């Protein structure tokens, strides 16, 4: 998503994120709540970066430590707003870094769906004037600042809901809050803003009247999609925008040819690359970055995180797969768990109630039922019987298990690591092995089977 700004002017972005989010009823600052696995404010930062912004200033206040910690990897100019005295006051905190000749774009940390395409339209609309507003027409404009236009439909001012007369409340065109202003003008006008209004706040929106006083034309762009300017104030709005965002991602995937059994029951919390003929059943969650080949089916209720999956792979229902690689032709599940650093080569099979951690399973090997395989290097065409456990942990250290090509491990075997099973070795069912097993031989640790004559079950005395 890299959309170049059309204007030659340098772009600087200021993101307002000082608010507490009282109605979230949470210890987490509002802008750190997550939408599709990414914090609200990071969605906004990503949009700003997609516009190639020269600098991004973040106005923070509530939950300062948490906000700073969670965004420490991002390149930001940090501007503290100790008291929240209004949107104008908030922008004032970032004024030092503003260049006179720049376009300054003001965004909100709690408006996550506003994308670079729309922002570019706003920048285009600004043309050679010194200010442009992003507005919207809403069926229910309640709560928003109203855009007041004159008889030539030029913008005259913005009136906040709390300061509005009944007549102004009838206006359905609203201020999204997002605007782009020339750096030098922003400095001049902000310095003139007062707080003589119903809320006793420094309103950023007062810039408009100041611009009009100087005979500036206030340009505007009306958003096509009102969801883009929606802010999040409570958990209901958070859930609604999450679904909306998921719907958009799902439609993008379907446009690329992915079959989603139900786009309403699909969640992508990250990014995904897919080949052709990928079929995803309901309630699948994809996280982090996943690469999925062609002709892959993913069964219902499966979670896939940071995975690389080859072609012709079948994943049945209820699997949890994380930070691992699955080569072409593998069969996984149902109810399989792959933990980080697992590598399955071509045509391997991992069946039900099998957990594999930090192991390499070579081509054609099968772990079909009820097993734990950890810290294991497994050769080709190995058959692991039901209930086989690699005992990789001695309470202090992890140890390796090596299993050679064509080995056959009987059911209910415990392999106490470190241990090596030779090529073609056969292990008798029910064995507990703590020493290496020789290649091509049968090894077992079972006691011989006995039958006692004349033995009777205990019974109660009458």
Q: Which is nearer to ligand UD1, 99 or 233 (CB)?
A: 233
Member of 9, 102, 203, 387 binding ligand UD1 (CB under 6 A): 203
**Phi and psi torsions of 242, nearest 5°:** -60, -50
19 part of the interface to ligand UD1, by CB under 6 A: yes
Q: Which is nearer to ligand UD1, 67 or 316 (CB)?
A: 67
85 part of the interface to ligand UD1, by CB under 6 A: yes
Q: Is 33 a catalytic residue?
A: no
Residue 402 has which token pair?
């090596």
Residue 33 has which token pair?
């709540």
Region near ligand UD1 per CB under 6 A, out of 86-94, 291-299, 355-363, 371-379 = 86-94
16 part of the interface to ligand UD1, by CB under 6 A: yes
266 part of the interface to ligand UD1, by CB under 6 A: no
Q: Which is nearer to ligand UD1, 118 or 390 (CB)?
A: 118
Q: Least distance from C-beta 356 to ligand UD1, angstroms?
A: 45
How far apart, in Å, are the Cα atoms of 111 and each of 15, 39, 192, 227, 230? 10, 11, 27, 9, 6
Q: Which of 89, 289, 360, 369 is catalytic?
A: 369
Q: Is 282 helix (H, G, I), strand (E, B) or coil?
A: coil
User: DSSP state, 439?
Assistant: T
Q: Give the count of beta carbons closer than 10 Å to the beta carbon of residue 290.
A: 19
Member of 35, 51, 59, 350 binding ligand UD1 (CB under 6 A): 59
175 part of the interface to ligand UD1, by CB under 6 A: yes
Q: Least distance from C-beta 204 to ligand UD1, angstroms?
A: 4
Member of 7, 10, 66, 84 binding ligand UD1 (CB under 6 A): 84
204 part of the interface to ligand UD1, by CB under 6 A: yes
Q: Is 49 helix (H, G, I), strand (E, B) or coil?
A: helix
Calpha distance 240→246 (Å, rounded):
10
Q: Which is nearer to ligand UD1, 93 or 365 (CB)?
A: 93
147 part of the interface to ligand UD1, by CB under 6 A: no
| Residue found by looking up tokens 């996550």 in the block | 112
User: DSSP state, 22?
Assistant: G
Q: Least distance from C-beta 111 to ligand UD1, angstroms?
A: 8
Asked if residue 147 lies in contact with residue 232, where contact means CB atoms within 8 angstroms, the answer is no
Calpha distance 19→69 (Å, rounded):
17
Q: Which is nearer to ligand UD1, 93 or 413 (CB)?
A: 93
Q: Which is nearer to ligand UD1, 110 or 375 (CB)?
A: 110
Asked if residue 155 lies in contact with residue 88, where contact means CB atoms within 8 angstroms, the answer is no
Asked if residue 327 lies in contact with residue 363, where contact means CB atoms within 8 angstroms, the answer is yes
Residue window 91-130: x/- pattern of binding to ligand UD1, with contact defined by CB under 6 A: -----------------xxx--------------------
Calpha distance 283→266 (Å, rounded):
5
């Amino acid at each position: 998503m890299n959309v170049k700004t059309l204007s030659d002017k340098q772009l600087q972005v200021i993101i307002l994120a000082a608010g507490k989010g009282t109605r979230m009823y949470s210890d987490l600052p509002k802008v750190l709540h997550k939408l599709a696995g990414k914090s609200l404010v990071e969605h906004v930062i990503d949009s700003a970066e997609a516009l190639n912004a020269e600098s991004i200033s973040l106005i923070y206040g509530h939950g300062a430590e948490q906000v700073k910690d969670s965004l420490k990897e991002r390149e930001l100019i940090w501007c503290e707003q100790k008291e929240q005295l209004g949107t104008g006051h908030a922008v004032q905190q970032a004024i030092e870094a503003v260049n006179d000749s720049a376009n300054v774009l003001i965004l909100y940390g709690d408006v996550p769906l506003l994308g670079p395409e729309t922002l570019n339209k706003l920048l285009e609309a600004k043309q050679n004037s010194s200010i442009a507003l992003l507005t919207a027409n809403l069926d229910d404009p309640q709560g928003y600042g109203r855009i007041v236009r004159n008889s030539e439909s030029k913008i005259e001012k913005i009136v906040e809901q709390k300061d509005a007369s009944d007549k102004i409340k009838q206006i359905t065109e609203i201020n999204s809050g997002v605007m782009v202003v020339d750096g030098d003008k922003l400095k001049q006008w902000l310095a003139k803003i007062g707080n003589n209004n119903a809320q006793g706040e420094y309103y950023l929106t007062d810039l408009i009247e100041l611009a009009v006083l100087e005979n500036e034309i206030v340009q505007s762009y009306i958003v096509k999609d009102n969801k883009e300017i929606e802010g999040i104030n409570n958990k209901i709005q958070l859930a609604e925008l999450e679904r909306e965002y998921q719907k958009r991602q799902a439609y993008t995937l379907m446009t690329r040819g992915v079959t989603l059994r139900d786009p309403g029951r699909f969640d992508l919390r990250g990014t995904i690359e897919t080949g052709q003929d990928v079929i995803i059943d309901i309630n699948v969650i994809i996280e982090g970055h996943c690469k999925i080949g062609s002709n892959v089916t993913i069964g219902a209720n499966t979670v896939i995180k940071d995975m690389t999956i080859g072609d012709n792979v079948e994943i049945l229902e209820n699997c949890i797969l994380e930070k691992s690689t699955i080569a072409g032709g593998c069969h996984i599940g149902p109810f399989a768990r792959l933990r980080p650093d697992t590598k399955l080569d071509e045509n391997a099979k991992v069946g039900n109630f099998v957990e594999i951690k930090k192991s390499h399973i070579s081509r054609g090997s099968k772990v079909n039922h009820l097993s734990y395989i950890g810290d294991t290097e497994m050769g080709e065409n190995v058959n692991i019987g039901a209930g086989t456990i690699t005992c990789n942990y001695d309470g202090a250290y992890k140890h390796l298990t090596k299993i050679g090509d064509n080995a056959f491990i009987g059911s209910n075997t415990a392999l106490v690591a470190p241990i090596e099973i030779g090529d073609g070795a056969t292990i008798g069912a029910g064995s507990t092995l703590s020493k290496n097993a020789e290649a091509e031989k049968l090894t077992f640790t079972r006691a011989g089977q006995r039958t006692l004559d004349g033995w009777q079950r205990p019974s109660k005395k009458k």
